[in-house]
Structure 1
Amino acid sequence: IRKDGTRKHVETSVSLIKDSEGQRKGFRGIVRDVTDRKLAETALQESEARYRSVFENTGTATVIVEEDMTISTANTEYEKLSGYSREELEGKMRWTQFIVKEDLERMKGYHVKRRENERSAPTEYEFRLVDRQGNKKDIFLKTGMIPGTKRSVASLTDITSLKQAESALLESEERYRNLSEQSTDAIYITNREGKLLYLNQSFLDLFGYSGEKIIDLKAQVMYANPNDRSKFQQEIEQNGSVRDYEVKLRKKDGTGVECLITATLRRANDGSILGYQGIIRDITEKNKLEAQLAQAQRMEALGTLAGGIAHNFNNLLMGIQGNASLMLLKTDPTHPNYRRLNNIEKMVQNGSKLTSQLLGYAMEGRYEVRPIS
């Protein structure tokens, strides 16, 4: 402690002073002020502590790699990632021991180039790591050189779950696309304004368009009655979906197409309506067949009615003819009524022909009417 109260760190060197008889006479020494050195050492220790704290708490696996590829320092996250303890890793293992064969040569090349010219090697890339148990993990790596050294520091993020999710999503999208493209029904996605965002091949085939020529069209122009678009929007936005919504659309050449639409709303994360997606089924031919069936059923009913009428009418005629024939047998040909009774018989025969035609119609037309002279 100095006179002014300032504290100093000193380093002393002391030796014993003896007289001629070898008795201790005193001490002599050298005192050296090492305050600056001690302050520097303390600062260095604090810096190293801060560095170690940051290194340990980055949240990602982090290592320092030497020029010979040895891992000189590893944090706890890297221990978890690799399955090895720090004692097993530091100064004993190389990072190359954790790389799958397919990625090894590429990464070795980066390691060498980075030390020759840091800009010549990428600072971020993906690779696959093999842990202690042999599990392969997808890793995103970010690395850089430590200034003034041949050492590099690297942080590794395990993106295996993300990669698996991406792969599952791609597979799902591929299955959806295959299903969509193989569907015989027209499948579409539009935004709320009517812009066509996705159409499958069946849609193009149904309406007679090619992909290039339909991309700039709006859904509104495909309605036979433009007002039906607004009605459809009102229905689907009110209910959230429509099922077998019947509407008449039109092809590129203007031909009408009777369709059933089954569709749902597309919504953003905030719940707002983005557009519509659904399936369109052409029921034009189905409606024609149904109309033909209905007509056939009506005609069948009419035939049944005609057959019943003809049968009953024929019974009446047979009664009239029977009575007329009996009267003719008892009437003299010279009698004035004989000619009238004969005319009744002829008219009954003509009526019988008419009932035969009605019965023929009732039995699906198995009759023929034609002039014979």
Structure 2
Amino acid sequence: MLQWSGMPVNIRKNIKKNSAMSNMFHEWFMQNNLFDGVKNPTERLKYFLKEIQRRVLSEQVIICSLDKNKQSLNVWETAPAKSEPILPENLTIDILKFINGSDKTWYLRDFSKNELISFGLKQEECYSVIVKNIYQYSDFQTAILIVNYSTILETKIFDFLEFIFPVLSVLVQNIFLYNELIKKNEKMKNWAKNVEERIKQGTKSIIEKEARYIAMFENATDGIVVLSSAGRILEINKAACEIFANKKSELLEHNLSEFTDEKNKLAQFIKKALSGTQIGPTNIKLKTFSGELTDIEITMKYVWYRGKKVVQCFMRDVSLRRILSQGLKNAKEKYETLVESSLVGVFILRDGKIQYLNQIFEKMTGYMRSELIGKRYADLIKHDEKFVFENKIKNELNGNQFEIRFITKKGEERIGEVRLNRAIVNGQSEIIGNIIDITDQKKLEAELFENEKMKSISTLAGGIAHDFNNLLGGILGYASLILSEISEDHEYYNDIKAIADTTKKAAELTNHLLAFARGGRYRVEQIELNQLIKNVIGILAHTPDNFIKFKFKSNNDKIFVNGDMQQIRQVLTNIIINSIEASSNDAVIEIITKTTKIKEETDLNGFHLKKGDFVKVTIRDYGRGMDEITQNQMFEPFFSTKVSGTGKGLGLALVYGVIKNHSGALEVKSEVNKGTEFTFYLPVCKRQAEKTRSAVKKSDNVSGHIFIVDDEKVIRDVSKKMLEREGFDVVTASNGKQALEIFNERWKEISVVILDLVMPDMTGEEVFKKMKQIDKNVKVIFASGYAPEDREEMKNFTYERFLQKPFRPQDLISEIEKVSN
């Protein structure tokens, strides 16, 4: 029977089951003396991995851990030692996530069902691999990876590994325990050091406190005398010596009764103080060494001094008060003048009632001083914030500022920034408060915050739309190509057409996002707004289950605006649908248009209106209305109050973006259970004659190669197929650098360049400028998932032709014909 020191019992039992394997394992584990002289578990692991690599003839053996929270990889050890992992980190993470929670041993064939991992292993030329979890925990897992081992004796290798994996698991757990012991040891050292430091600090603190007490005693402005139970002076500070007009050494050990004719009164004070009764403040007449009598205010209480009860007596020469009284009167007058002329509202409260207020406070609230004196300050505060104010009075009188909403005499709600401090006035506790009206400042801050928030959301929406348009470009392009190759009676024709139509609808959704993010691609034309509104009402009035009545009126028969017809129609549709959904059956929705003049530039709810003629469109319902929270969020993309799945949350976000990009303004008023009123402004224009569009020429006249430059492979491929099918010769490039190399060699052959504006290494603008240096007459059609108005670099760049993704074959060919002619 084998006896292997340090080998766990369960491992030894597994090995005994196979005598042949037992002998082999015994020879390997015992005769090689793997762990002789090696105490550190980490070093043992190194030896262990090295021996495994030697036995299975693998290219590399790795022990690594995956942090499940951070999704990060930590490589413990490798064999050969300190070698770079063969498998990339992201592939290793995918493998560990795939086998998470599994106790089985995983071989190369086990990963065939995972296409990502299988492809990654093939890319790294990995012809054999063994992976096994050897230690798993809720937050991390530790595994061994054996890469490219010898498959000659594969069965024996598998048996060998199945026996040694439990030993490896124990080793890894030992490392965890060893590291924990190291941390505990370090904590104990730090704790001991901390205790020693605290003892030093404690001793130092006691000495410092004693020094501070002595300094406070000696430097106190009031006289302090320590008396024995018989009245003998045991200690006296500098201020008390000045009262008696003598030195400390001359006063110590004298009895205080020697300095007063009211000896019985003094004796009674000392007796009561020793019994626990605090004396004073009260007055007594004391004599200086020269015999001069002085009025002294004294306070007495007992304290412990050197293990005995003694009396601590505080003294103050109150004869100075007569001298100071006039000065106090003058100071009070100056104080009142200062407070009354302050630019800040000042008030004083006692027991929550107003005792004083200055002129600014009167002006701020609209009340006269006589109306507020004696009234509770809380009566001025908005009802739902009274508790907050009362809590501040009780617990936070430290001068910190806070905001409170108060109601003026006219019933107007205002916002005040308040500071409160407690003071003792005439022996009573009072609260001195300062208040500044910050209502206008808060409105400005809210507008600035809203503008910044909408700007951030717009950037996000534009980025999503750009990426989505690139994807849709491939789908629509390929669907269009297939449709052009098959007849309408083909069994798949309607299916492919459905794909193309659905893609177009998805493109409309991205246009909504781009409209919010400054612009989809607007097709500006002259719109007769009243007729457009009538058309929208006509459609919505005849939808099923709609019993709403519409009332439309205008102060002009025809009102013309410049804009995108589709976008303005969508604005009207979205607002009216919201009104319909908020209204009950047989309700009325009013739509009013009115021309108006803006006499000077103005800002309205974050919108900037230039002076000029505008149309004011009001859409009013009498439905359930919106609360304040909903009004604050209603223009955010994807925010919806509808049941999950029934609304995208883009309707009002689109309204906001379209109105802003048409140089208009938007205003919303709503009250719960009373209804909502949407009002938007658009600049009006003079009626213009309609322009006729010229017919598109055929592509037969276009000669030379078409050069497609786009970082998206699917766009390059589908565009190339579109053009080759129409007989064009096509060259492609995947980035700016490659494009310039090709163009430099073949620019004479290239007739038109289709150039993506947004690429990672070089922008389309940079590539175009360098192409112009090679061929100043180069013809370029710029393409992008963004619209020209969506990005700063596109706004400031001049171009002749632009093609927005996704596009159909006929759109691409039409643009090529136009730029060629």
Which structure has the bigger radius of gyration? 1
Query: Relative contact order (alpha carbons < 8 A, sep ≥ 6): 1 or 2 greater?
Result: 1
In the superposition, the TM-score normalised over structure 2's length comes to 0.22
State the TM-score, normalizing by the size of structure 1. Answer: 0.46
